[in-house]
């Protein structure tokens, strides 16, 4: 049988890749597949949802007892809304309710990304990247509270130029579900001329959330998420923990993996882990301040938002993972937002190429799925192949952080063309909604 000539195959491939029907079909099939894995795969990938989130929702329904209001809670208070909402159609169907909720939110974000009526256009490549990222990351991409924040944050960054106040509201709400989107707010406040509108609406939204919680009787519990994580030891997947995982493998006295029943997670102990756990939060704070300083320097020297915002957001997000003593696999979902922002910006003819972080994030996602959930017990058993996979994954996270910080550092040097590029804030309107009506935020 004679195969089709390469040009024809390339044309067919390009036609499929550019087809809105193929793109949307792949998106839907990806979520069906990931939903199936969450419900059936070994390792109980939906365990947090069915064992913990469902319990909180049942407490609210049966006993009118709301975590975050009637007690201290590990998550910000708005996280209670999707957790309770997933039980709308009964607790027997709670897992399906959760997966359906995530799918609907992802559907909205995907439509914002690739366009609803005119076809995918320039957004198709970005859409295909997100599909690949979800597939490679596996069931964890839908199975945690972080999965609620990702589509909200994606829509927020796509709204930034045309509707900055809406972006501020969305990012504030996402932060009150899981703290990490605060990194995106920080990047916007440094790099974008829309900073005042984003900050103003973020403050208004946060005040409203706090006021509602206080009226409902939360008291100081509304802020309990700030202190709930401070006393944690080193979780096994955290980048810093790789040192002691290898020490435990080498049977160094005192180095071992153990289960902390109080917070339902596996942690690592060994010589120096108490000190490392104590200093990680201050070190993370210092790194965030340094990144912010570089971003401010770049802004003052004329770096346009087209060049600065995406790498600065990526620098903040990677730092939150690289210097975190927790390191749960769902943290990798955070990469989606700054990478999509960078790819979308470049797709409109602005900004630097984001191929390096795009490919790096895909590899990190694949290694994460290899580790969790299927072979997680092998990691806990300190099998060398799993330790190598974890170490490589963590090294790639650190590598992306260095890449993004290096790019921000380079942007702090003045360039003669920055004045021409300062029409900068015109770029995002062409990102949202890919081919839609342009609106500036000057």
The tens digit of pLDDT for each residue in 154-195 reads 999 999 988 999 999 999 999 999 999 999 999 999 999 999
Cα 189 from Cα 295, distance rounded (Å): 10
CA 437 to chain centre: 28
Beta bridge partners of 257: 268
CA 153 to chain centre: 8
**How far are the Cα atoms of 62, 230, 240, 326, 358 from residue 314, in angstroms, in the given order?**
42, 24, 20, 19, 11
67: tokens are 């975590």
235: tokens are 């979780």
CB count within 10 Å of CB 442 equals: 10
Cα 331 from Cα 364, distance rounded (Å): 11
- Can you give the pTM of this predicted structure? 0.90
Residues ≥6 apart with Cβ < 8 Å to 249: 382, 384, 387
- pLDDT the model gives residue 418: 44
Q: Which residue has the tokens 């390009």?
A: 14
- pLDDT the model gives residue 429: 37
Alpha helices, H only, 352-426: 355-369, 376-380, 384-411, 418-421
Domain boundaries, the chain: 13-431
- pLDDT the model gives residue 162: 86
| Phi (first) and psi of residue 259, to 5 degrees | -105, 125
Cα 369 from Cα 36, distance rounded (Å): 15
- pLDDT the model gives residue 9: 53
CA 300 to chain centre: 28
- Burial of 108 by CB count in 10 Å (0-12 exposed, 13-18 middle, 19+ buried)? middle
Using DSSP, state whether 359 is helix, strand or coil.
Answer: helix
- Burial of 74 by CB count in 10 Å (0-12 exposed, 13-18 middle, 19+ buried)? middle
Beta bridge partners of 259: 266
Q: Which residue has the tokens 């990222």?
A: 133
Helices (runs of H) and strands (runs of E) counted in the chain: 21, 3
31-47 burial, b if ≥16 CB within 10 A, otherwise e? Answer: beebbebbeeeeeebbe
Alpha helices, H only, 160-232: 164-175, 182-191, 195-215, 225-228
Say which DSSP state 4 is in: P
Cα 237 from Cα 328, distance rounded (Å): 6
- pLDDT the model gives residue 16: 63
Question: Which stretches in the chain have pLDDT values below 70?
Answer: 1-18, 117-122, 414-442
């Amino acid at each position: 049988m004679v195969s089709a000539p390469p040009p024809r195959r390339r044309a067919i491939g390009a036609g499929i890749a550019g087809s809105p029907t193929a793109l949307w079909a792949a998106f839907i099939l990806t979520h069906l597949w990931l939903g199936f894995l969450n419900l059936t795969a070994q390792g109980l990938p939906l365990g947090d949802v069915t064992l913990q989130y469902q319990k909180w929702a049942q407490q609210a329904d049966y006993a009118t007892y709301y975590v975050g209001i009637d007690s201290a809670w590990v998550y910000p208070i708005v996280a209670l809304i999707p957790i309770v909402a997933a039980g709308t159609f009964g607790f027997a169907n709670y897992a399906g309710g959760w997966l359906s909720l995530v799918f609907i939110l992802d559907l909205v974000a995907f439509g914002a990304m690739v366009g609803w009526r005119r076809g995918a256009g320039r957004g198709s490549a970005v859409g295909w990247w997100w599909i690949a990222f979800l597939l490679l990351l596996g069931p964890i991409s839908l199975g945690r509270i972080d999965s609620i924040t990702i589509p909200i944050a994606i829509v927020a960054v796509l709204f930034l130029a045309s509707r900055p106040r809406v972006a501020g509201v969305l990012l504030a709400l996402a932060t009150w579900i899981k703290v990490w989107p605060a990194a995106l707010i920080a990047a916007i406040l440094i790099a974008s001329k829309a900073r005042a509108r984003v900050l103003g609406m973020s403050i208004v939204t946060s005040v409203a959330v706090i006021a509602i919680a206080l009226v409902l009787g939360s008291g100081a519990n509304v802020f309990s998420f700030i202190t709930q994580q401070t006393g944690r030891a080193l979780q096994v997947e955290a980048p810093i923990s790789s040192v002691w995982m290898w020490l435990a493998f080498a049977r160094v006295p005192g180095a071992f993996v153990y289960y902390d029943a109080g917070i339902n997670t596996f942690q690592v102990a060994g010589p120096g882990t108490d000190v490392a756990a104590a200093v990680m939060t201050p070190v993370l704070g210092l790194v965030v301040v340094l990144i912010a300083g570089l971003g401010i320097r770049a802004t003052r020297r004329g770096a346009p938002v087209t060049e600065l915002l995406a790498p600065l957001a990526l620098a903040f997000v990677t730092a939150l993972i690289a210097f975190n003593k927790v390191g749960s696999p769902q943290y990798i979902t955070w990469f989606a937002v700054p990478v999509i922002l960078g790819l979308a910006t470049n797709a409109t003819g602005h900004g630097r190429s984001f191929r390096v972080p795009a490919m790096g994030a895909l590899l990190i996602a694949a290694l994460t799925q290899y580790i969790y959930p299927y072979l997680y017990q092998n990691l806990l058993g300190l099998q060398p192949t799993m330790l190598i996979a974890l170490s490589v994954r963590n090294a790639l996270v650190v590598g992306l952080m260095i890449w993004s910080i290096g790019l921000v550092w380079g942007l702090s040097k003045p360039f003669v063309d920055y004045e021409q590029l300062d029409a900068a804030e015109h770029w995002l309107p062409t990102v949202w909604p890919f081919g839609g009506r342009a609106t500036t935020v000057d």
